[in-house]
Amino acid sequence: MMTTTGKAFSFKALLLYISRILLRRLRNPRSLWRKGSNAQLFGQPRFQKFHSFAHRSEISDQTLIFDVEGALLRPSSLFPYFMLVAFEAGSLLRSLVLLLLYPFVCMASEEMGLKIMVFVCFFGIKKESFRVGAAVLPKFFLEDVGVEGFETLRKFRRNVGVSALPKVMVEGFLRDYLGVESVVGRELKVFRGYFVGLMEDKEKTRHVLQKVFGEDTLSSRDIVGIGGFNKSLDHQVFSYCKEIYLVSEAEKRNWSQLQRENYLKPLIFHDGRLAFRPTPLATLFVFMWIPLGFTIAIIRAIVALLLPYKISTPILVFTGMRLKQTIPKSSPSMSRTNKDRAKGILYVCNHRTLLDPLYLSTVINKPLTAVTYSLSRVSEILAPIKTVRLTRDREQDAEMMEKLLSQGDLVVCPEGTTCREPYLLRFSPLFAEMSNNIVPVAMDTHVSMFYGTTAGGLKCLDPLFFLMNPFPAYKVRLLEEIRGSSKLHDSAQSRFDVANNVQEEIGRVLGFECTTLTRKDKYLILAGNEGIVRTDNKPQNQRGTCNN
């Protein structure tokens, strides 16, 4: 009969055996080529370490085939990208299921783990409405790009990106933000317009290079490959490379993050609710926070709606909300001319969230009237200040704003929509004719967990998501008055000049860059609707001077 000591010894031996198998599996790279591969089509390629690539010369006319996860992105885990798909394109329940299955994904093989995550994230998602790959994921991909991998891509004339991820997840990022000519990824099976959560076979991409470059390019053998050292390069396209450089995990850990100013194309618009990189540990923390966060958000909303400013402000600060305000020494109300004394003050601010007018009202400690282009009925009913919808008819809106100014102070966000990144959209010049004295207001926000804006989701939930952050922060800075182009005064400035001047002043204070983009551009990029296609042949995402 086995003793207790013997049982303990057997259990420890079993754990030691399992741990050795796992360590051996993690340390030893998988086979570089599958059985039945056409790797021998041009002979076995020569493998070299990535650091030897620095000594290469005359590569500007060559074609690079690179592994996206192994040679471009610094993190090695694919879980955060699938969690973004599950949360943004699916639901809270779907993302919870993915989190619970993560231990099984880790224990399964690379291919099986990938299939599990694909099935959980894409099963039942409508193909036509899937925009996470173009509107959400590029931001997180760009933040994970290594400078060394990025600079390598730019040395070659043409690039082909090969990814283990489904093509709908990476194609928008690689083509739009890195200028990659061709993207090779797994296609997803579709049934009656819905993803079924299964991937097409890799064998169907056997002749992808012939289709992209033609036979002449293939026969020239002028192709170089870069992949991960511990990641299998079993895709058919790598068999055409005469040289393959391998990047080790130790090298990737030392890579630097690509900074925003070095992006080939500025990231101005992005969608989605999650403001953090959803690693397994961070996602677990969020699920633990959501019940408490929802309760705190409701308490914050009730306090802000029912209590006076002097009482609600310290309570909201106690719950974790932060407000930094800057008010000029000269009061706007004292600097108005005689002809404008019958009018209220016109506050013009950049647009960060739907709560901009509420924070401004808190700072100046008096109620305001806010005009808006679009507002959900729920937000309109719950708003503690007066809100008025604009009709987008110039004459009618001008008449309405004139009437509101005669009744009291007015706040307007001439961008017409929110922008999360440090950019200012084009300011509509309508406000410039409403008053001769305009008070610009510079606004900025900081969130750590959820974004309080959306282009493709339910707008009525925007304030709730903002208030669910542990420490949501707002910066409100009132600037010196700017003279408008009111019809009551002779002004050398046109309404366009005034709008540009206000935009430039707010951008200067915040350190934001001015653009010529509009609300229509944003929704065409993120949601594919709510806009009219431009006919001026200008890129919708270009940066430029503050021109209206």
Q: With bands split at pLDDT 50, 70 and 90, how would you rate the model's confidence at 422?
A: very high
Domain covering 44-262, topology: Rossmann fold (3.40.50)
Q: Specify the pLDDT at position 338.
A: 45
Q: With bands split at pLDDT 50, 70 and 90, how would you rate the model's confidence at 547?
A: very low
Residues facing residue 158 across a β-bridge: 63
pTM of the model: 0.84
Q: Specify the pLDDT at position 473.
A: 96
Q: With bands split at pLDDT 50, 70 and 90, how would you rate the model's confidence at 14?
A: low
- What is the DSSP secondary structure assignment for residue 515, as one 8-state letter? B
Q: With bands split at pLDDT 50, 70 and 90, how would you rate the model's confidence at 16?
A: low
Which tokens belong to 523? 């929704």
pLDDT for residue 484 is more than 90: no
Please answer whether residues 511 and 350 qualify as being in contact, where contact means their C-beta atoms are separated by less than 8 angstroms.
no
- Map out the domains of the chain as residue ranges: 44-262, 280-333+341-527
Please answer whether residues 286 and 449 qualify as being in contact, where contact means their C-beta atoms are separated by less than 8 angstroms.
yes
The larger pLDDT score, comparing residue 459 to residue 202, is at 459
Please answer whether residues 345 and 409 qualify as being in contact, where contact means their C-beta atoms are separated by less than 8 angstroms.
yes
Pick from 126-130, 210-214, 497-501: least confident: 210-214
The larger pLDDT score, comparing residue 93 to residue 487, is at 93
Which tokens belong to 130? 């899937």
Q: How many other C-beta atoms lie within 10 A of the C-beta of residue 32? A: 18
pLDDT for residue 239 is more than 80: no
Residues facing residue 243 across a β-bridge: 46, 224
Q: What average pLDDT is seen over the chain?
A: 82
The larger pLDDT score, comparing residue 124 to residue 494, is at 124
- What is the DSSP secondary structure assignment for residue 448, as one 8-state letter? S
- What is the DSSP secondary structure assignment for residue 433, as one 8-state letter? G
How many whole angstroms separate alpha carbon 452 and alpha carbon 473?
Answer: 12
Q: Specify the pLDDT at position 13.
A: 60
Q: With bands split at pLDDT 50, 70 and 90, how would you rate the model's confidence at 202?
A: low
Q: Specify the pLDDT at position 544.
A: 43
Pick from 135-144, 165-174, 330-339: least confident: 330-339
pLDDT for residue 339 is more than 70: no
pLDDT for residue 539 is more than 50: no
Mean pLDDT of 81-109: 95
Q: Specify the pLDDT at position 42.
A: 46
Pick from 21-35, 340-354, 385-399: least confident: 21-35
Which tokens belong to 54? 């620095």
Mean pLDDT of 258-285: 95
Closest CA to 217 of 161, 139, 158, 261: 158
Q: Specify the pLDDT at position 144.
A: 96
Q: Specify the pLDDT at position 76.
A: 86
pLDDT for residue 7 is more than 70: no
Q: Specify the pLDDT at position 79.
A: 96
314 CB burial (10 A radius; 0-12, 13-18, 19+): exposed
pLDDT for residue 280 is more than 80: yes
Best CATH choice for the domain 280-333+341-527 from the list 3.40.1130, 3.30.70, 1.10.3470, 3.40.50? 3.40.1130
Q: What would the pLDDT profile of 435-483 be if each residue is shown by its tens digit?
A: 877 899 999 999 999 999 998 888 889 999 999 999 999 999 999 988 7
How many whole angstroms separate alpha carbon 411 and alpha carbon 439?
Answer: 9
pLDDT > 70 in the chain, percent? 77
Q: With bands split at pLDDT 50, 70 and 90, how would you rate the model's confidence at 191?
A: very high
Q: What would the pLDDT profile of 375-408 be if each residue is shown by its tens digit?
A: 777 777 778 888 888 887 788 888 888 888 888 8
Pick from 2-6, 97-101, 420-424, 543-547: least confident: 543-547
How many whole angstroms separate alpha carbon 455 and alpha carbon 469?
Answer: 19
pLDDT for residue 38 is more than 60: no
